[in-house]
Amino acid sequence: MTLPHIAIDGPVASGKSTVALMVARRLNLLYIDTGAMYRVVALAALRDGVDLDDGEALAELPQRHQIDLKPAADARGYAVCLDGVDVTAQLFRGAVTAAVSTIAAQPQVRRVLVERQREIARHHAVVMAGRDIGTVVLPNAPFKVFLTASVAERVRRRLEEMRAAGSTIDAQTLREEVERRDHTDTTRAESPLVPAQGALVLDSSALSAEEVVDRIVSWVASSTAAGA
Ligand code: DC
């Protein structure tokens, strides 16, 4: 049986987490932010003092620690527990954000996390957000979306979000950080960020999150009706 999975990929701050959560809530599907899985491995690595380039040691972390993702009714839509403790807020701080791209470039880490992501999708209809969901994790998903936006717009959105959370980061530093992560994510040898074949490519630079969600939900509804 093919579950009606929706894969949403895109670069940093393209709005995919916001959009994926809204689509999941509209269609009553489970929302999985795979970025959070890479982030919690990064947090565990920093805590355990594991070398960020040691793929073998990093890949053992999800086995050595208990990692749980649970749906939540808040704005993020989920909570992540590491060894039974809610660490969600820590996943989005500077140290983890600075380390995560390096970790996500390690093939051994990707193998372990991709298998976990597929296991979740075997049991649930999901809206899964990430960088390689349509290309690698769920290549047979019936709905694949590649969400993008200009660098200027992505920096503007992320700056607003970070300032609201109390950060004093300046626009230029943030732009450099976004460009550095874009570069790492799109040029890595293992599962680089590219649109999947057949993906609906949406540039959200001039669209609100609601408008993006409406387009995805209409696409899913019309395809489902056409196939019914
Ligand atoms: O979406 P995010 O910013 O929380 O992702 C954190 C990092 O993890 C980012 O550098 C890209 C990487 N990532 C990945 O390589 N593959 C995924 N499926 C999800 C995230």
Sign of the four-CA dihedral 135, 190, 115, 217: negative
**Shortest-distance Cα residue to atom 9 of ligand 1:** 101
| CA–CA separation, 158 and 174 (whole Å) | 8
pLDDT of 2 reads: 66
**Topology of the domain covering 6-212:** Rossmann fold (3.40.50)
Give the residue extent of every domain in the chain. 6-212
**158 CB within 6 A, ligand 1:** no
Q: Under 8 Å CB-to-CB from 76, ≥6 apart: which residues?
A: 17, 21, 88
Ligand 1 atom with minimal separation from the 9 CA? 18
DSSP 34-59: HHHHHHHHHHHHHHHT--TT-HHHHH
Q: What does the pLDDT read at residue 198?
A: 93
Q: Provide the 3-class DSSP secondary structure of residue 81.
A: strand
* Ligand 1 touching residue 132 (CB < 6 A): yes
Residue 107: CA count within 13 A, CB half-sphere: 2
At 199 the pLDDT is: 96
Separation of alpha carbons 197 and 200, rounded Å: 9
For residue 16, give the ligand 1 atom closest to its CA: 1
Q: Residue 160 CB: number of other CB atoms within 10 A?
A: 10
What integer pLDDT is reported at residue 3 of this predicted model?
Answer: 73
Contact, 105 vs 184, CB < 8 A?
yes
How many angstroms separate the CA atoms of 41 and 188, rounded? 18
Closest C-alpha among 38, 14, 183 to residue 96: 38
Of all protein residues, whose CA lies closest to atom 10 belonging to ligand 1?
A: 101
38 lines ligand 1 (CB under 6 A): yes
The answer, yes or no, to whether any atom of ligand 1 lies below 6 A from the CB of 15, is: no
Strand ranges (DSSP E) for the chain? 6-9, 30-33, 67-71, 78-82, 85-86, 126-130, 143-148, 200-203
pTM exceeds 0.95, yes or no:
no
Contacts of 132 (CB under 8 A, 6+ apart): 9, 110, 114, 191, 193
Give the residues of the chain that fall short of pLDDT 50.
none
Distance 180 CA to ligand 1 centre (A): 13
Burial class (CB in 10 A: 0-12, 13-18, 19+), 170: exposed
CB-ligand 1 contact for 149 (6 Å cutoff): no
C-beta of 39 in contact with ligand 1 (< 6 A): yes
Q: What is the 8-class DSSP label of residue 150? A: -
Distance separating alpha carbons of residues 170 and 193, to the nearest angstrom: 26
C-beta 12 within 6 A of ligand 1: yes
Do 61 and 15 contact (CB within 8 A), yes or no? no
pLDDT score at 48: 98
The residue contributing the CA closest to ligand 1 atom 15 is: 104
